[in-house]
Amino acid sequence: MRFWRRSIRAVGTAAGRLLAQEHSINPLRSLRHQSNANTGFARRHVACKWLVNVEKFRGSTRDCPDLCTACTRIAVVVSYPEACCCEPSATDRHTHRRLDEQEGWMKKTVLAVTFMVGYAWSAELPYWAYGFAGPGAPPTAAAAAPDSSLKHLPGSKLEFTRAQISDRFGPADWYPEDHASMPDVVAHGKRPDVFACALCHYPNGKGRPENAGVADLPVSYFIQTMNDFRNGNRRSSDSRKGNTNLMIAIAKGMTEDEIKQAADYFAAMKWTPWMKVVETATVPKTRIAGGMFLKLEGGEKEPIGQRIIEAPEDAEATEVLRDDHSGFIVYAPVGSVKKGQALVVSGGKATACGACHGTDLKGMGPVPGLAGRSPSYLVRQMYDMQQGMRKGVWTELMKPVVSKLSDEDMIDIAAYLASVKP
Ligand code: HEC
Ligand code: HEC
C-alpha cells in the first residue's frame, strides 16, 4: 500500500510539474509574467480535500479565501501559497477569469487528475524538515525592522549593520581568523544569480538547518552534487522551498573553475560539533522564519509529535547576526537516538551506513560524512531521494538504502546521526 501510494505520488507530482511547464500555466510563472492579469489556478480545497478549479482573485490576505465550486464553501487555498501572497492588487476587486475559460476540457481533466494525485498525496511530506508548518501553509518571513545600528559579537573585533550582515554579495565575516582566505565566489558570489556561499552556508561552511553544512565534504562529491543541481537532478520535494531553488540557480550560474575553488575551500575545513541533541516529549513552541524554527518567547511547550525541531541556541545570534559560532539544539522524540543507532549500525532495513559512509560515519573517499550533521537536512535528503527528486548518478547507491525507510525510521536515523560526535 505504502509503495503504491508513494509511486502514485511520485508519478503524479512529476506529471503535474511536467504539464505545468509544458502548458506554461505554472502559477508562479504566470504571476510573474502577467502580474496585472487575473489568472485561474487549480488548487486543492482543504475542507473537502478535493481538487477544485477555484476562481482566483488577486487578494491581499495570506489566507487567500476562494470559493470551492464543488461544495460552495470558502476554501483556504493550500497549494501555491506564494502565488496567493502576491502583492495586493490596487483595487482588490474580485475580477475572475476561470481556468476552464483558458484551457480546453482535455487539458483540464488531465491537469486536475495529475494535480490531484501529485498534490493531494504530497500531504505526507515531513513538512518540519522542509521548514513548513504543514501542507500549503504560506512561507512565513520575519519582518525585518529597518535598523542601521552597528552590531557586535563577543570574540569578534568587527562590527556590521544588519544590511551588511545579510548582503547577498558580501555578507559579514565575523571571524576571518577562523578560516583560510575565501575564494571570491564564496565571499562575494557573482552578480546577478550567484549569491555568496558564505551568506547561507556561513564562511566556515557550517550552514543552518534550512540549507546545508558544506564544510568537510569530499571535493569530488561536492563537484558531483553541484552538477546534479545544475542538471535538474537535485530538487526539493516541497516546491515552496525557495532556497533550494536559489541553490539551483547559483549552481547554474557558476563556472567549473568557481565550483572547484569553492569545493577545495570548504573541503579543507574539518566538521566539528555544531548541535546538541536532546530527547524530549515536549518542545518549546516555535514560529517559522525563512524555513528556520525559532523558539517563541514565553517558554510555552507543545508535544514534539513525529518531528525533530532544530532551533538556534540563541535566536538573535543566528537569525539576526548570522553568528557562525552559535549552533543549534536538536529536539528529538524520546528513544529515537537508540532506534536510529540500530538502523544505522546494523543496517536493519538496508545496508549498514558505515559500509559506504565510513565506520565512524565521517565520510569515506568520495562519500560524504553524516556524523553530527543537521537532522532536518539529512531527512530532507533521504526523503528527496526516496521521492526521486534527488537522482544524481551517485544517488543510485542510496536508492536501495532509502526505499524501505518509513518517516519514523528517517527521524530516528537523523536523530542518531546528529548525535554522533564528528
Ligand atoms: C540562498 C542560500 C544559499 C546560498 C547563497 C548558497 N547555497 Fe548552497 N545550498 C542551499 C540550500 C538550501 C541547500 C540544500 C538544499 C536542500 O536541502 O534541498 C544547499 C546545498 C548545497 C550543497 C550540497 C551539500 C551536500 O551535503 O550535498 C552544496 C555543495 C552547496 N550548497 C554549495 C554552495 C556553493 C558553492 C555556494 C556559493 C557559490 C552556495 N552553495 C550558496 C542554499 C544556498
Ligand atoms: C552503498 C553505499 C551506501 C550506503 C550503504 C549508504 N549510503 Fe548514503 N550515500 C551514498 C552515496 C554515494 C551518497 C551520495 C549520493 C549523491 O551524490 O546523490 C550518499 C549520500 C547520503 C546522504 C546525503 C548526504 C548529503 O550530504 O547530502 C544521506 C543523508 C545518506 N547518504 C544517508 C545514509 C544512511 C542513513 C545510510 C544507512 C541507512 C546510508 N546512507 C547508506 C552511499 C551509501
Task: Please give the CATH architecture assigned to the domain spanning 162-267.
Answer: Orthogonal Bundle (1.10)
**Top mutation candidate among 349, 357, 380, 395 for ligand 2, by most atoms within 8 Å of CB:** 357
Q: Is 351 in the pocket of ligand 2 (CB under 6 A)?
A: yes
From the CA of 234, give the closest atom in ligand 1. 18
Q: Ligand 1: which residue has its CA nearest to atom 34? A: 197
Confidence of residue 135 (pLDDT cuts 50, 70, 90): confident
Q: What is the pLDDT of residue 146?
A: 81
Lookup result for grid cell 540500530: 342
Q: Give pLDDT tens digits for 32-82.
A: 222 222 233 334 444 333 333 333 333 323 333 444 444 444 443 333 333
User: 83 Cβ partners below 8 Å, 6+ apart?
Assistant: 27, 28, 31, 41
pTM for the predicted model, two decimal places: 0.77
Q: Provide the percentage of residues in the chain whose pLDDT is more than 90.
A: 64
Query: For 135-196, where are the alpha helices, taking DSSP H only?
Result: 162-165, 184-187
* The domains spanning 162-267 and 275-419 adopt the same CATH topology: yes
Confidence of residue 145 (pLDDT cuts 50, 70, 90): low
**Which fold does the domain 275-419 belong to in CATH?**
Cytochrome Bc1 Complex; Chain D, domain 2 (1.10.760)
Quote the CA–CA distance of 227 and 233 in Å, as a whole number.
Answer: 8
Query: What is the tally of helices (H) and strands (E) in the chain?
Result: 18, 11
Write the Ramachandran bin of 322: left for phi over 0, alpha for psi from -120 to 50, otherwise beta.
left
| Nearest listed ligand to the Cα of residue 239 | 1
Q: Ligand 2: which residue has its CA nearest to atom 2? A: 356
Q: Is 262 in the pocket of ligand 1 (CB under 6 A)?
A: yes
Least confident of 100-104, 340-344, 409-413: 100-104
Whole-number average pLDDT of the chain: 78
Residue 202 and residue 280 in contact, taking contact as beta carbons nearer than 8 Å: no
Mean pLDDT, residues 144-171 taken together: 93
Q: Give pLDDT tens digits for 314-342.
A: 999 999 999 999 999 999 999 999 999 99
Q: Ligand 2: which residue has its CA nearest to atom 8? A: 398
| Nearest listed ligand to the Cα of residue 356 | 2
Q: What is the pLDDT of residue 26?
A: 33
Q: What is the pLDDT of residue 95?
A: 25
Mean pLDDT, residues 268-287 taken together: 97
Question: What Rg do the C-alpha atoms of the chain give, in angstroms?
Answer: 22
